Structure 1
């Protein structure tokens, strides 16, 4: 039904958007700390902020920038985010490959794991990949802003945009993953990923300007991404107000909504600093939005003949998507239990 459909669609979108914003606070705040350390140095006499304080600095900056009203108005922000993402990804993998493989690097999987643990680790990895491609939760939101008619349906423009966007994403992530794995192997830090590896292993043999610029680009990208991924939450809050009171959302309330969400995301980032370790779980929960819901929506909208080829095909693909989501979530939970994650509350 309509009510259940809204709940099933709204929960993973809001869940993934909020989880992404919390993660961005951790990434952005942590990278701000790295940037300050690089620019100031060990002998700096300035007061060095703690990690929580850097989270707060990033959150305040994100809230101040999050005053644009809707997705249509943040096209420039999205462009800045795309440019910075391409730039820092390219810089990281080029520097890593140029510096060569680390001594004693290994590509062997961890030993001593059971077959079941390895299988569920693979499923957890799929969830992490899904989280990395988390932009899919905004596809329908973006398509809703495109004008559409019988001659020029929005799906055509959206398809071209999606193809180009994922081409750019692949251009960023595949060289980063392949080059990073070749350069660092099993020595890559568990927290911070490639950026931490770049600073940890090449801080002394790479230009300080390169590492600082890379960190700055990551901060700018995190600020830009925060605006994009928080917009579904903002839109939902404003839609509820407009539906209930039947009048436009005033500016002061829009600012309050954004400030409240930013404060909540900041609180979660401080209270649950191990949240990035749950990337596989977060990605798995939101996976049906990409793999299952479109198939079911197509059946409801197009109403193909029952038991026809397209009817069977979409039901099969939708069911496979739901099953894969369950398996990925199970793999993430299994990995957390079997391998363990460092749980520490209010201690980022």
Structure 2
């Protein structure tokens, strides 16, 4: 029997447990976390977190990069995403110097715990928290824009010619109202991450379903001689062309956002039994399956969509089929997107709710918030996110902006930087050089994408009317 010890760096209560395996190994982990998952659960959670509505905007990114540039960068981002995800997996289990039984292993169950372990509690929070908040809030805004557009497309495709379709803003408000209702339900019955495997399974199935529909519909199109695949042939000013390329690069990077919950997913795998002393083999099996599915979805939808429409492909490739002969298939796909982002919105927003409510509790001297106060916080948050989405409903530019300022750092920049600090490879050796290269290159891509996305948002907003149909 061992006594509990407080991890001063990460700020979590850890319970040390000894596990026998040719000697004593001390596993330090938080016993409040439920851990019953296997590699299949890892795949459900990871596919749901990674394969999102952003895949529907990837063909539009090719309209600025062309065939060669698009495929090269999509392949590069795919490999880098898998590599940096792997780095996070291998940093989930770190040496525990407090263990006196033998070999000590500490499990880091959240991204912020890893940052605190490497940088210290205060600095780790300052480095990671702004990026994580930008990711979570930005995804909420983007999901609202996606849901509003898909609901509007659904209403337009199933309605009669005499019915007037409301503006996108109205459907965003409907989606916001749905999120308020779901937030209330979640407040009353919030399961642990380990308990939502079936929700993640359904989410992953819906993601794959609308990707299959987008691929099949695009592949069925026989492009005529008027379809253009050369971005240079599109009449654009030099500044528009450059900014479009910048935004396209980070739109592709935005598609890989699952890293922010990688350690939370790995935390659900138990140590011992089927996973003796380490969770890495089971986690990597699930991760490899995830990237196989992700690659098929991303490359399939992007190549088929760009081949069908060339540089004229819309921001959301499903929008090109809204009034075709098979509109009912597209209508079903739009509903799948709405259902997927409705569930995913709650998943990415819960940490924001918890952070706001924790800060308010501290401001009240440690007194818990009342139920009306908690509901008020969540209602106000959803209203603000919905208003921002209504004012900036530019899906492609939002993808690039969120990818630049948030997803790029947490997905591509911080993992190799943390790995250098954690592993301390020989300076200028191959391992050090590869990771240092990724840090520098992804930082530059993030800056380029931020500039390009802001330019497109500003120029588009100048002619945009907020409450127009």
Residue 116 of structure 2: aligned partner: none
Is the 2:397–2:453 Cα contact (8 Å) retained in structure 1? no
5 Å-filtered alignment, 1:96-115, equals 96-102=218-224, 104-111=226-233
More helix by share: 1
Does residue 23 in structure 1 map to residue 146 in structure 2?
no
* Counterpart-to-counterpart distance in 2, 1:159 and 1:243: 39
TM-score, length basis structure 1: 0.82
SS in 2 for 1:341: helix
Residue 179 of structure 1: aligned partner: 304
Residue 164 of structure 1: aligned partner: 289
* Counterpart-to-counterpart distance in 1, 2:377 and 2:267: 22
Deviation per residue, 1:273-317 (Å, 9 max, x gap): 336423222211121212221123234344556777655554444
Does residue 264 in structure 1 map to residue 384 in structure 2?
yes
5 Å-filtered alignment, 1:1-348, equals 2-44=121-163, 49-66=166-183, 67=186, 68=190, 71-102=193-224, 104-111=226-233, 121-147=244-270, 151-189=276-314, 191=315, 193-199=316-322, 203-206=323-326, 208-240=327-359, 253-274=373-394, 276-286=396-406, 287-303=408-424, 310-311=431-432, 313-333=434-454, 340-343=459-462, 344=464, 346-347=466-467
* Counterpart-to-counterpart distance in 2, 1:19 and 1:345: 22
| 1:297–1:114 CA distance, 2 compared to 1 (3 A) | same
| 1:251–1:180 CA distance, 2 compared to 1 (3 A) | same
Is the 2:254–2:402 Cα contact (8 Å) retained in structure 1? yes
**Alignment length, in residue pairs?**
338
* Counterpart-to-counterpart distance in 1, 2:241 and 2:416: 31
| 1:177–1:219 CA distance, 2 compared to 1 (3 A) | same
| 1:278–1:53 CA distance, 2 compared to 1 (3 A) | closer
| 1:14–1:156 CA distance, 2 compared to 1 (3 A) | farther
| 1:313–1:23 CA distance, 2 compared to 1 (3 A) | closer
Of stretches 57-66 and 233-242 in structure 1, the one that deviates more from structure 2 is: 233-242
Looking at both structures, which has the greater relative contact order when contacts are Cα pairs under 8 Å and sequence separation is at least 6? 1
More strand by share: 2
| 1:232–1:126 CA distance, 2 compared to 1 (3 A) | farther
Deviation at 1:320, TM superposition (A): 3.5
Residue 51 of structure 2: aligned partner: none
C-alpha RMSD over aligned residues: 3.3
* Counterpart-to-counterpart distance in 2, 1:37 and 1:153: 52
Of stretches 63-72 and 74-83 in structure 1, the one that deviates more from structure 2 is: 63-72
Deviation at 1:115, TM superposition (A): 7.4
* Counterpart-to-counterpart distance in 2, 1:30 and 1:126: 23
- Point out where structure 2 has 5 or more consecutive residues left out of the alignment: 1-118
| 1:280–1:72 CA distance, 2 compared to 1 (3 A) | same
Deviation per residue, 1:184-218 (Å, 9 max, x gap): 112222x4x2111111xxx2432x43232122212
| 1:326–1:204 CA distance, 2 compared to 1 (3 A) | closer
Residue 80 of structure 2: aligned partner: none
- Point out where structure 1 has 5 or more consecutive residues left out of the alignment: none
* Counterpart-to-counterpart distance in 1, 2:370 and 2:290: 34
TM-score, length basis structure 2: 0.63
* Counterpart-to-counterpart distance in 1, 2:367 and 2:240: 54
Of stretches 58-67 and 171-180 in structure 1, the one that deviates more from structure 2 is: 58-67
| 1:252–1:81 CA distance, 2 compared to 1 (3 A) | farther
Deviation at 1:24, TM superposition (A): 1.1
Deviation at 1:237, TM superposition (A): 2.8
Deviation at 1:123, TM superposition (A): 3.4
| 1:120–1:277 CA distance, 2 compared to 1 (3 A) | closer
Is the 1:70–1:231 Cα contact (8 Å) retained in structure 2? no
Deviation at 1:259, TM superposition (A): 2.3
Is the 1:71–1:231 Cα contact (8 Å) retained in structure 2? no
* Counterpart-to-counterpart distance in 1, 2:328 and 2:236: 42
SS in 1 for 2:228: coil
Max Rg structure: 2
* Counterpart-to-counterpart distance in 2, 1:11 and 1:187: 36
